[in-house]
Structure 1
Amino acid sequence: MVVASGIEFPLPLSTEPMEARMAEALPRDDGPWQYEPKWDGFRCLAFKGGKSVDLRAKSGKALGRYFPELTATLGDLETSDFVIDGEIVIEVDGRASFDALQMRLHPAESRICKLSRETPAQLVLFDMLVAPGGRSLMELPLHDRRAAAEDFIARANAKALRLSPATTSLATAEKWLEGAGNDATDGVVAKQLDDLYRPGERAMVKVKRLRTADCVVGGFRYLNGKRQVGSLLLGLYNDRGLLDHVGFTSTIANDERAALTDKLERLRGGSGFTGKAPGGPSRWSTERSGQWEPVKPELVVEVRFDHVTGERFRHGTKLLRWRPDKAPRQCTFEQIERLAPQVSKKGV
């Protein structure tokens, strides 16, 4: 046991989670392998010593004050003196929301408490470092730690604690990878079943799904202080035939800006987005950067994206090529339909 702030915990709160190295494809050799969805939330090590609970981010920062419902759930368990590894996620209207997670990082305790009631978080468990009672499992192979995690979840029987799916089937893992990039998951993690837990080491393998979509250019923004295009605003047609704003791309080559600006200005003044439109300035943007110019929905561009949240691209996309062969009306949400694997208490 380790004493921190006068409380005995099974491991130091500075313990680092085991990490993964990037790869282009799922491993097939030197197995056997266990495959799991790569959850797109906040990585978290949860420590319990006696009745005291501490949640730590991958960076080592304390998370407990931002997720009081998880601290309460773990504190109420009859078992104690354990350490678990998982991912904090929040579902809104049945779909995982990274925006809801980010809203928790708020300085006002009253705001956090309100959000914890309205949009409670879950801890998706995928590994166990110390079993209840204080027995370390880090020197045991993954298949033994997985069995301990399954037993822990079954005994806890708590809605806020879930077990991540896992499979030894490469075919199933590849299906998960194909569906990743929507809502809760953004790839697949591969772990060797006979490997021990190695804090801080990139001993696992992660493969992220980068997908492409053909989008309509519904508007653009100028570069700050310049009369040249800075970013393209992207749209997809919804099932009502309206063009919804879904994101942006700013990966425009400098030697192409002048000609592209001329082309867009000739199309300026059109209907732009007829469904969900880009918002105005936010607390992160300037007044100028919040302004945008609508254009006639005639141009189609193929972009690469890594993740979709709430029917929008989470991050900026990479412009791959123009698609003059594609009709704008063919650019629909079917390209980014939600196919992510479901969280399960039993696994796969």
Structure 2
Amino acid sequence: MDLPVMPPVKPMLAKVGTGIPPGQLYEPKWDGFRSVVFRDGDEVEIGSRNERPMTRYFPEVVEAVRANLPERCVVDGEIVLVDPERGALDFEALQLRLHPAASRVRLLAEQTPASFVVFDLLAEGDEDLTARPFAERRRRLEVALADATPPVHVTPMTEDEALAQRWFDELEGAGLDGLIAKSPDLTYQPDKRVMTKVKHVRTADCVVAGYRLHTTSRNAVGSLMLGVYGEDGSLASIGVIGAFPMARRRALLDELAPYVTTFDGHPWDWAAHEQYAEATPAQRRAWGSRWNAGKDLSFVPLRPELVVETKYDYLEGGRLRHTGQFVRWRPDRDPRSCTWDQFERPLTYDLAELLGPS
């Protein structure tokens, strides 16, 4: 491979904004695997945000790149997976694509094919475009991919702030994260937070029913395990809070000690579910690990008496899409009042309206 921009390349990043900044170019914020793709003839490499090779996991994307991208180019984009029934992004199914067995990779590529949404052009032919303004790179990208067909898409973009606000309000129902705002004169700056991301932020009161110890210290809390009550009275596991300074993690161990209990009668006695490996995805979400059936599900059970206000951005499949953030303890709340009805459900939006049919 011989390109003017060679792998590995760390993608350009975004800082968090509190509102839609004026005078920018706006794109939907896709929720998938950020990928810088390099093509030199038949050679294709897909690099992740952490510069790890992703090529082997997405053979259908490799073929789509050969069929749709310029003969020699480097592009920045997102590998996403669309649930055809819901017309929305399915990040959980996308996570399952990272499988070590080549035979499984081929099967998943057929059963749950991914798409590639392109939003920047870093190089074309022998030209390094990273020092050019984004508005120019975008125009060249649109020309270069004018004839692209699914599963390759050019991300929609607008300079209309009102349309950007509508995207922000409506596209969450299709599983998108929010908006990305870029200055028209922005050069491509790898690993620098020079764009702006605007995301939905909400809070919910959750029951703390357990914790996991920190991976590097047995004297510190790693994460608080969150739950909410359903109409049937069961406590569903919805995610964790995991970001604390180390001093706070150690203090939490003492603060939670009076609530430590046994698994007898605990709502999350996952060890009792010997059929875990054969369980349905819905059962696994209720019992434990979201991503990996082989993950250690051990935790320290707590009496479900503590309530914490949790900041979150998106609820997907009955789980927090990202790790929650601690806001405050809520000693004034009855744990049984922490129910599903406090979660805002985004409006349904079919991605085919945004990208066209796949």
Normalising by the residue count of structure 1, what TM-score does the alignment of the two structures yield?
Answer: 0.74
1:71-220 aligned at under 5 Å gives the runs 71-77=62-68, 79-92=70-83, 94=86, 95-131=88-124, 137-138=129-130, 140-157=132-149, 159-174=150-165, 184-199=175-190, 201-217=192-208, 219-220=209-210
Structure 2 residue 308 is the aligned partner of structure 1 residue 319: no
Distance 2:121 2:347 in 1: 28
Q: What amino acid sits opposite 2:107 in the alignment?
A: K
- The equivalent residue for 1:262 is 258
Say which SS state the counterpart of residue 126 (structure 1) adopts. strand
- The equivalent residue for 1:345 is 355
Cα RMSD after superposing both structures: 4.2
For the 8 Å contact 2:174–2:349, the answer to whether it is kept is no
Structure 2 residue 24 is the aligned partner of structure 1 residue 33: yes
Which consecutive unaligned segments of at least 5 residues does structure 1 have?
none
Distance 2:56 2:219 in 1: 46
Distance 2:134 2:198 in 1: 19
Shift of 1:290: 1.6
Q: What amino acid sits opposite 2:49 in the alignment?
A: K
Say which SS state the counterpart of residue 81 (structure 2) adopts. strand
Distance 1:178 1:119 in 2: 28
For the 8 Å contact 1:45–1:86, the answer to whether it is kept is yes
Q: What amino acid sits opposite 1:43 in the alignment?
A: R
Structure 2 residue 40 is the aligned partner of structure 1 residue 49: yes
- The equivalent residue for 1:69 is 60
For the 8 Å contact 2:119–2:138, the answer to whether it is kept is yes
Shift of 1:171: 4.5
Distance 1:78 1:186 in 2: 26
Distance 1:279 1:38 in 2: 29
Shift of 1:80: 2.2
Q: Which one of the candidate residues 306, 317, 321 is aligned to 1:310?
A: 317
Classify 1:230/1:35 alpha carbon distance in 2 versus 1 (closer, same or farther; 3 Å).
Answer: closer
Q: What amino acid sits opposite 2:286 in the alignment?
A: A
Q: What amino acid sits opposite 2:15 in the alignment?
A: M
Q: What amino acid sits opposite 1:127 in the alignment?
A: D
Say which SS state the counterpart of residue 321 (structure 1) adopts. strand
Shift of 1:180: 8.4
Give CA-to-partner distance per residue, 1:225-264, whole Å, 9 cap, x none: 9899875432234577754220133657655655644346
Distance 1:63 1:195 in 2: 27
Shift of 1:149: 3.1
Shift of 1:88: 0.9
Corresponding pairs, count: 330
Shift of 1:184: 4.3
- The equivalent residue for 2:298 is 290
Classify 1:164/1:242 alpha carbon distance in 2 versus 1 (closer, same or farther; 3 Å).
Answer: farther
Shift of 1:334: 5.1
Sequence identity percentage:
32
- The equivalent residue for 1:278 is 287
Q: What amino acid sits opposite 1:215 in the alignment?
A: C
Shift of 1:20: 2.8
Q: What amino acid sits opposite 1:319 in the alignment?
A: F
Which consecutive unaligned segments of at least 5 residues does structure 2 have?
270-282
Shift of 1:116: 0.9
Classify 1:291/1:76 alpha carbon distance in 2 versus 1 (closer, same or farther; 3 Å).
Answer: same
Classify 1:102/1:320 alpha carbon distance in 2 versus 1 (closer, same or farther; 3 Å).
Answer: same
Q: What amino acid sits opposite 1:89 in the alignment?
A: V
1:12-23 aligned at under 5 Å gives the runs 12-14=5-7, 16=9, 19-23=12-16
Q: What amino acid sits opposite 1:84 in the alignment?
A: V
Shift of 1:113: 0.9
For the 8 Å contact 1:184–1:340, the answer to whether it is kept is no
For the 8 Å contact 1:38–1:206, the answer to whether it is kept is yes
Shift of 1:190: 1.4
Q: What amino acid sits opposite 1:277 in the alignment?
A: A
For the 8 Å contact 1:215–1:303, the answer to whether it is kept is yes
